[in-house]
C-alpha cells in the first residue's frame, strides 16, 4: 500500500494518553471548572476539587485540558501557575506520590530513608526556590484516599501548614468524599465537586467524529459507521472503548486494503477486542440462531450497519435453501431474532412508520459465523461461491 493510501493519518492521536484540543460534550464542565479556578486564583486563594465519573467518561482528559489551559493563562496574584499530574494507581501511598511531587519541583531524593515530613520540608524548599502556584492533579486517587492519606489533608491546607501555594484536584471513578477525613472534607464542599455523567450514544458519536477528523484521512469514515461504534460503547458510556474500536476498525480496513472504514471492519475490531465474551456466547447458540446471525452478517456486509427485518428474512430464506435445510416459519424467525436481541447479539430498532424494524449486529464477522455454522452442522454443506 502506498503511504498516501493510509487511513490512519495521525495514529498517535488515538492513543489514550493524547489530550485532544477540544472536549466535545464536556464544554460546560470545563468552563465551570475554569471559572471556579480563575475566581479563586484572582482572590489569591487556591481552589480544590474532586472530579468523579465512570470509566472512559473523560475525567483524565478534562483535568489535563484544564491544567494545560490554566498553565497558559492562569495566575495567582503575581505567581505563575504550574501544573503537576500524578497518576496514583501504582503509587498508592503518600510517600510514593511525594517522590513524584518532589521531582516536579526539580528535587530528587533517594527512594528510601526519608519520612513524609522530611520529604515535605524538601518539597517546600523546592517550591520556594521557584515561586509558583502549584496545581496538583492526583488521578486515580481512590486507593490513596482509602489508605487514610495524610498527604491529601496537608496539600489541601498548604497555606496553614506553610507548604506554599497549592490547589489540589482529586480524580476518581467513585465519590471519594465519604472516605475523606473530617478535616479534608471541608475543602471539598458541594462547589468543589464535579460528577461527570456517562456519555450517551449521541455524545459518543460526536466524540468519535471529532477524533476521526484528527486521526484519520478525511472522508475515510462515514457518520453511520461512527454511530455503529457509539452504539457498541454506549452501554458503558466509555469513550476510551469507542476510540479503541475506531482504531481497531481503521487497522482492519487498512489490512484488507480498503480505502474507508466500513461496518464489517468495526465488527472485526470489536470481535478481537472482546473475544472471550463472543466465544462464551457462541457456544450456547442454537443452529437456528447461528443461521439467522450468518444471514444478518452477510446482509450487513452488503448493506452497512442495519438491515430491514423483511429483507433479512428474505436473505435468511435464501441461505437456508442454499444449505439444503428446511425453511423456517415466520414466527420461528421472529422468535429467534428476539432471542438474539435478548442475548445482546443483535439490536432491533423500530423502523419509520409502516416500515419493518431495522436489525443491526456489532458482534461477529461473517467469516467467523460461517466457520462456526459449518462446525455445528458437521461441515455437511458445500459452500457456494
**Where do contacts with ligand ATP occur on this chain (CB under 6 A)?**
16, 20, 23-26, 53, 55-61, 173, 207, 210, 239-240, 243
- The label of the residue with cell 513524584 reads 100
**289 DSSP assignment:** H
Quick one: which of 165, 138, 172, 155 has its CA closest to 82? 165
Q: What distance in Å separates the CA atoms of residue 242 and residue 224, rounded to the nearest whole number? A: 14
Nearer to ligand ATP among residue 186 and residue 197 (C-beta): 197
Strands 133-139 and 193-196: unpaired
- Which residue, among 359, 367, 364, 365, has the nearest Cα to 281 in the 3D structure? 364
**Closer by beta carbon to ligand ATP, 163 or else 233:** 233
Residue 25 interacting partner from Mg ion, ligand ATP, none (CB closer than 5 to 8 Å by kind): ligand ATP
Minimum gap (Å) between residue 139 Cβ and Mg ion: 6
23 contact choice in ligand ATP, Mg ion, none (CB below 5 to 8 Å, kind-dependent): ligand ATP
Distance CA 362, CA 269 (A): 10
Q: What 3-state class would DSSP assign to 98?
A: helix
Q: Which does 365 bind (CB under 5 to 8 A by kind): ligand ATP, Mg ion, none?
A: none
Starting from the edge strand earliest in sequence, which strands make up the sheet with 133-139, in order? Answer: 75-76, 79-87, 133-139, 165-172, 49-53, 193-196
SS3 label, residue 57: coil
Contacted by 53, from ligand ATP, Mg ion, none: CB < 5 to 8 Å by type: ligand ATP
Identify whether the C-beta of residue 143 lies closer than 8 Å to the C-beta of residue 92: yes
351 binds, among ligand ATP, Mg ion, none (CB under 5 to 8 A by kind): none
Provide, rounded to whole angstroms, the least separation between the CB of residue 53 and ligand ATP: 5
* CB nearer Mg ion, residue 19 or residue 161: 19
Of 153 and 199, which CB lies nearer to ligand ATP in the complex structure? 199
Do residues 52 and 176 lie in contact, with contact meaning Cβ atoms separated by under 8 Å?
yes
Shortest gap between Cβ of 55 and ligand ATP (angstroms)?
A: 4
Question: Which of the listed partners (Mg ion, ligand ATP, none) does 61 bind, with a CB threshold of 5 to 8 Å by partner kind?
Answer: ligand ATP
As a whole number of angstroms, the distance between CA 291 and CA 75 comes to: 65
Task: Rule CB under 5 A: say whether 142 interacts with Mg ion.
Answer: no
Residue nearest to ligand ATP (CB): 58
Q: Which is nearer to ligand ATP, 209 or 339 (CB)?
A: 209
Least Å distance between CB 71 and ligand ATP? 18
Q: Which residue is nearest to Mg ion (CB)?
A: 60
Show the binding pattern over residues 54-93: x = contacts Mg ion (CB under 5 A), - = does not.
------x---------------------------------
Least distance to ligand ATP, CB of residue 151, Å: 20
**Contact of 296 with 375, CB cutoff 8 Å:** no
CA end-to-end span of the chain, whole Å? 28
Instruction: Report the C-alpha gap between 252 and 130 in whole angstroms.
Output: 50
Residues 246-285, interacting with Mg ion (CB under 5 A): none
Q: Of 21 and 110, which CB lies nearer to ligand ATP in the complex structure?
A: 21
Minimum distance, C-beta of residue 120 to ligand ATP, in the bound complex (Å) = 28
User: How many Cα atoms sit within 13 Å of 302 on the Cβ side?
Assistant: 10
49 forms beta bridges with 169
Question: Between 123 and 179, whose beta carbon lies closer to ligand ATP?
Answer: 179
Output 57 or 288, the one with its CB closest to Mg ion.
57
Element (H, E) at 318: helix 309-323
Report, in Å, the least distance between residue 87 CB and Mg ion. Answer: 8
Distance CA 249, CA 264 (A): 8
Kindly state the smallest distance separating residue 313's Cβ from Mg ion, in Å.
45
Q: Cβ closer to Mg ion: 60 or 187?
A: 60
Residues near Mg ion (CB under 5 A): 60
Amino acid at each position: 500500500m502506498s503511504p498516501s493510501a493510509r487511513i490512519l493519518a495521525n495514529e498517535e492521536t488515538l492513543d489514550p494518553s493524547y489530550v485532544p484540543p477540544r472536549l466535545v460534550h464536556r464544554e460546560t464542565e470545563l468552563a465551570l471548572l475554569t471559572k471556579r479556578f480563575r475566581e479563586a486564583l484572582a482572590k489569591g486563594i487556591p481552589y480544590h476539587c474532586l472530579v468523579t465519573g465512570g470509566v472512559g467518561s473523560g475525567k483524565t482528559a478534562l483535568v489535563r485540558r484544564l491544567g494545560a489551559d490554566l498553565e497558559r493563562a492562569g495566575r495567582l496574584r503575581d505567581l505563575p501557575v504550574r501544573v503537576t499530574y500524578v497518576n496514583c494507581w501504582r503509587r498508592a501511598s503518600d510517600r510514593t506520590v511525594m517522590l513524584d511531587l518532589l521531582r516536579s519541583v526539580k528535587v530528587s531524593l533517594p527512594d528510601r530513608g526519608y519520612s513524609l515530613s522530611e520529604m515535605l520540608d524538601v518539597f517546600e524548599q523546592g517550591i520556594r526556590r521557584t515561586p509558583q502556584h502549584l496545581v496538583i492533579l492526583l488521578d486515580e486517587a481512590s486507593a490513596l484516599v482509602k489508605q487514610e492519606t495524610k498527604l491529601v489533608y496537608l496539600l489541601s491546607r498548604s497555606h496553614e501548614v506553610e507548604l506554599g501555594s497549592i490547589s489540589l484536584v482529586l480524580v476518581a471513578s467513585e465519590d471519594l468524599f465519604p472516605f475523606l477525613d473530617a478535616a479534608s472534607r471541608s475543602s471539598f464542599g458541594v462547589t468543589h465537586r464535579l460528577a461527570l455523567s456517562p456519555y450517551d450514544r449521541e455524545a459518543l458519536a460526536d466524540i468519535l467524529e471529532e477524533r476521526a477528523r484528527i486521526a484519520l484521512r478525511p472522508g475515510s469514515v462515514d457518520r453511520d459507521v461512527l454511530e455503529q461504534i457509539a452504539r457498541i460503547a454506549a452501554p458503558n458510556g466509555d469513550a476510551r472503548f469507542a476510540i479503541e474500536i475506531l482504531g481497531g476498525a481503521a487497522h482492519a480496513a487498512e489490512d484488507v486494503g480498503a480505502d474507508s472504514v466500513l461496518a464489517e471492519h468495526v465488527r472485526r475490531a470489536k470481535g478481537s477486542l472482546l473475544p472471550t465474551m463472543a466465544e462464551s456466547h457462541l457456544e450456547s447458540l442454537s443452529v437456528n440462531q447461528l443461521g439467522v446471525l450468518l444471514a444478518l452478517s452477510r446482509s450487513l456486509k452488503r448493506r452497512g450497519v442495519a438491515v430491514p427485518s423483511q429483507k433479512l428474512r428474505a436473505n435468511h430464506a435464501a441461505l437456508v435453501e442454499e444449505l439444503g435445510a428446511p425453511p423456517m416459519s415466520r414466527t420461528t424467525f421472529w422468535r429467534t431474532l428476539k432471542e438474539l436481541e435478548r442475548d445482546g447479539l443483535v439490536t432491533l430498532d423500530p423502523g419509520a412508520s409502516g416500515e419493518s424494524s431495522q436489525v443491526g449486529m456489532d458482534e461477529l464477522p461473517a467469516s467467523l459465523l460461517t466457520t462456526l455454522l459449518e462446525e455445528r452442522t458437521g461441515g455437511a454443506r458445500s459452500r457456494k461461491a
